Structure 1
Amino acid sequence: MFESLKKKLSRTSDKLEEEIIEEAKGEDNLQEEEGKKRSFFSFGRKKEEDKADESDDSEEEEKKSRFWSRNKDDTSEDEDVDDDDIEEEIEDSSDDEVVDDSLEEGEVKEEKKSSFWSRSKDKDEEEEESSDDDDEEEEEVVEEKKSRFWSRGKDKSDDEEEESSDDDDDEEEVVEEKKSRFWSRSKDKSDEEESLDDDEEEEAEEEEKKSHFWSRNKDKSDEKDSDEGSGGLFSFVREKTISEKHVDDILFELEMGLLEGDVAMEVATEVVESVKEDLVGRKIKRSSDITEYTYNALRNAVAEIIDIPGKSMTEMIEEKKAQGEPLVVMFVGINGTGKTTTIGKLANYYLKMGYTPVIAASDTFRAGAIEQVTHHADNVGVKIIKHQKGSDPAAVAFDAVEHAKAQGKELVLIDTAGRMQTNTNLMDEMKKIKRVANPDLVIFVGDALTGNDATQQAVKFNEAIDIDGVILTKADADSKGGASLSIGYVIKKPIMFLGVGQGYDDIMEYDADWMLNQLFSEDDGVAVEE
């Protein structure tokens, strides 16, 4: 929707940026930096992403906290178990120890624990010393036997060589056995060291996985930025100020663009003046500032235009229901705008909300009008009040109101004949229906595709009958958006509903914030620099 207006708004930002950068080049007041290109429309999307990132970060922190707290709980449980074991052993040995009566109970426990750990440490040291002594004794035995072996070899005669060789073999076997024992111990130590190395490698791998996990979110955000493209970011050596000469030509082009998009003259002028007042005097340091300030100025200007205060039809139904009366709504407009179909949609809309509507077929002049509105009433399942073709339209409206009051129905929808705003006789007939039925709401139904014509029609109907609100049909097919932007502001009456399709469910209550997002959000916007 509203593609034409979107392009004109983003082009305004591009032109202003080009103007200021060109001037800065002539002043030798420009330097290029590395940066990411972003769409004009991404400034609104960026705020939403920041909110989403904040919520994601809070969830991530909560998960981290829960993870570490679980580990801490497990560790504390292990420590409690160890302390219990220690205390049991201390209690078993407490009979052999003397404790100072002046110590507190906690200090006693601490002293016993300290004593226990010191005893364990002494035992470990004694075992190590004993193992060292055993090794030294074994080595001395080996050296002594070697010495005796060689001395015996020298003293014996040649005829004892065979016997000595047998002894030699025995001694060698002993030596080999001791060597084997020695190397096996060394191997066991090396295996332990290797297992420790393996544990360290596993810890390193675990740390790497954690690092990879936490960096994934960062990588995703980097990917989003890289999708916009890189390069083209400029900053100014001396701070620049947006002046009237920068914006005059550009805003004149914007005004012409809005008029081409069927925006009413007074609305286009109001938007331009608001943007000019917002931009002139702004201090800028980087080219991205220009885009951001223009985006905000345009968004604020449009927000003021499209937000016309007024009660919703649903609120008014509830107020009338509290008084025991039905809400009476009269629909006016020219032929072919979708007035009768809109009545069928509204009957279906409020029927699904739990209300009971009734339709008055007060278009008694157009051929087939009564049959058409009856067809819609039958399709959605609501009561219709109708007279013969050519009968008094005001009488039909009066009967429908009386029926609603008698049956306790909450909503009366009055269909009227389509008429051009220049047809004086039909406009007088419409005034008569209003006097007789005394509607709470008079709603103008306009075709969004007719653009500025719909605005002019609404002005004429408002002058003749004083309308209370507007429904725009075919809004889903409106590429220009002129009527949606202008009609409420021009007649100072709110848009109440938008028709967004041909089905009975294709109608929505108007929401100014939704309209603003339609105008200032786009996935594939024009790339600008940031």
Structure 2
Amino acid sequence: MFADLNEKLSGVFKRLKGEARISEANIAEAVKQVRMALLEADVNYKVVKSFISGVQEAALGESVIKSVSPAQQFIKIVHDNLVEILGGKDYEPSLPLQSIPPTIIMLSGLQGSGKTTSAGKLGRYFAKDGKNVLLIAADIYRPAAIDQLEVLGKNLNIDVYSDKSSKDAVKIVRDGLEYAKKAAKDIVIVDTAGRLHIDEELMQEVENVKKAVSPHYTFFVADAMTGQDAVNAATEFNNRLEITGVILTKTDGDARGGAALSIRYATSKPLMFIGTGEKPDEFELFHPDRMASRILGMGDIVSLVERAQEVIDVEEAEMMAGKIKTGLDYNDILKQFSMMNKMGSLESILKMIPGLPKINSADIDESRIKRTQAIIYSMTKRERTRQDALNGSRKKRIARGAGVSVNEVNKLIDQLTNMNKMMKKVSRKVGGKTPDMNMKDLAKLMKGMKF
């Protein structure tokens, strides 16, 4: 998300680097370019007007005019105003549970916005903390909606309540809530049917569902790819349902990002969660400061660390760190791929690391990772740990087994050799101990890991 906006804002900052100081003239031009970038990103014009006003006021302040680093000062001003638009620096997302369970959460939104998938992701978010979750399938209109939620529940080991014989959404939710109380569920998540905000009959139905179960939280699920349409829908749903907050989905696919910058301003309701991919674990709490950093291409190391903590085995990581001096083998590479796969796409991981060169989708060939795995799986146990065992005939056999050329096998061998050399070199810099690499070292290392 925000690829286009990030690119345009980067151009504005780059032009300011050539200025000796911030003045009214160069700020006027920079602000004009920022305004155009936001409008082209499908940000609501009222949001743009408010944002630009805040940037101009801060940028023309006396303390900034005296600055010796105008580009950095302007980046900070834009960053701070983005944080304010997205929720404010003091906003911390929280979802307190009821002292007397169950806590009831209702999802609403347009057709195709990702409510059912979000219900599963939200269920997993609570289940991984040991909560007993129930999903209620209340979408009685979309074909296979109930089946989809049941499959999600089965895959995530979360109970699903459904009644395929009923066409009464209110009754289904009431019965599901009774089941939740008897089964001592901590959290109930209600997946309602998608509906247009201009469809009075269906809007009345979702109002009736809310009245029937009195949810503690009502979320509007918005598709980030719909831009200002999502803002209009969110406003109407908020008027009818008094939503608690917003879940923004498909943020990995939207190049513009206008919805994220507009919904909170238009509804005065916070963005609570964002879906960052298709996998159940690609779902996270929304933090305004982290999102602002992503928009400006500054990375998001905090979210990356949190994601890593979820999937990385501490003992395994310590073992891997200890092998830096002796060198990694192909089994280690497979483990790294497995860990990265749990954390999300390689592109999303790299974009979170501050200080790395700009990463474009075209620069990353995820299929190469699959081919590399195929090469390693075609090796014997001995070949995976002994590079010197890989002679010409063995390489040909491995290439045939993986369905690749011998040249690709040789490239993998060279890449592992170069990576081990780099790691040993970095280790020697800190007296042979496992290094705490800076961004420059990390960039070099990842360049050598282009599998």
Aligned residue for 1:305?
85
SS of 2:104 mapped into structure 1: strand
- Is 2:87 aligned against 1:254? no
User: Residue 260 of structure 2 aligns to which amino acid in structure 1?
Assistant: S
| Aligned-residue offset at 1:402 | 1.8
What SS does the aligned partner of 1:445 have? strand
5+ residue gaps in structure 1? 22-234
**Identity over aligned pairs, percent:** 31
Decide whether the 8 Å contact of 2:93 with 2:286 is kept in 1.
no
Q: Paired residues, what number?
A: 301
Instruction: Give the conservation status (yes or no) of the 8 Å contact 1:472–1:497.
Output: yes
Match of 2:357 in 1: 524
CA distance in 2, matches of 1:415, 1:327: 14
**3-state SS in 1 of match to 2:252:** helix
Conserved 8 A contact 2:246-2:273: yes
Do residues 383 (structure 1) and 159 (structure 2) align? yes
Q: Any residues of structure 2 matched to 1:35-434 within 5 Å, and which?
A: 242-243=23-24, 245-282=25-62, 289-307=69-87, 312=93, 315-317=95-97, 320=98, 322=99, 324-434=100-210
Are the equivalent residues in 2 in contact too, given 1:8–1:258 (CA < 8 A)? no
- Asked if 2 retains the 8 angstrom alpha-carbon contact of 1:332 and 1:417, the reply is yes
| Secondary structure of the structure 1 residue equivalent to 2:218 | strand
Shift of 1:473: 1.0
The residue matched to 1:477 in structure 2 has which SS? coil
Say if 1:448 and 1:454, in contact at 8 Å, map to a contact too.
Answer: yes
Q: Is the 8 A contact 2:249 2:275 kept in 1?
A: yes
Q: Secondary structure at the match of 2:178?
A: helix
TM-score normalised by L of structure 1: 0.53
CA contact (8 A) 2:106 2:189 kept: yes
Contact preservation (8 Å) 1:241, 1:281: no
TM-score for both structures, normalised by structure 2: 0.62
* Structure-1 separation of matches of 2:73 and 2:111: 44
AA matched with 1:247: I
Residue 291 of structure 1 aligns to a residue whose secondary structure is helix
Query: Secondary structure of 1:336's match?
Result: coil
Q: How many Å separate the matches in 1 of 2:65 and 2:140?
A: 67
Q: Which residue of 2 aligns with 1:187?
A: none
Counterpart residue number, 2:212: 436
Partner AA of 1:512 in structure 2: P
Q: What is the CA–CA distance in structure 2 between the aligned matches of 1:483 and 1:268, rounded to whole Å?
A: 12
Larger Cα-atom Rg: 1
**What letter matches 2:257 in structure 1?**
G
Contact 2:67/2:73 (<8 A) preserved: no
Preserved contact between residue 44 and residue 262 of structure 2 (Cα < 8 Å): yes
| Alpha-carbon shift at residue 278 of structure 1 (Å) | 0.8
| 2:329 is the alignment partner of 1:496 | no
Work out whether residues 306 and 512 of structure 1, in 8 Å CA contact, stay in contact via their aligned partners in 2.
Answer: yes
**How far 1:284 sits from its partner (Å)?**
6.9
Distance in 2 separating the partners of 1:404 and 1:246: 61
Give the C-alpha shift of residue 334 in structure 1: 0.9
SS of 2:136's equivalent in the other structure is: strand
Rounded to whole Å, the distance in 2 between the matches of 1:283 and 1:356 is: 54
Give 1 or 2: higher helix fraction: 1
Q: Which has the higher contact order (CA 8 A, sep 6+)?
A: 1
List aligned pairs for 1:469-508, cutoff 5 A: 469-508=245-284
Task: Give CA-to-partner distance per residue, 1:125-163, whole Å, 9 cap, x none.
Answer: xxxxxxxxxxxxxxxxxxxxxxxxxxxxxxxxxxxxxxx
What is the deviation of 1:447?
A: 0.9
Equivalent pair of 2:113/2:221 in contact (CA under 8 Å): yes
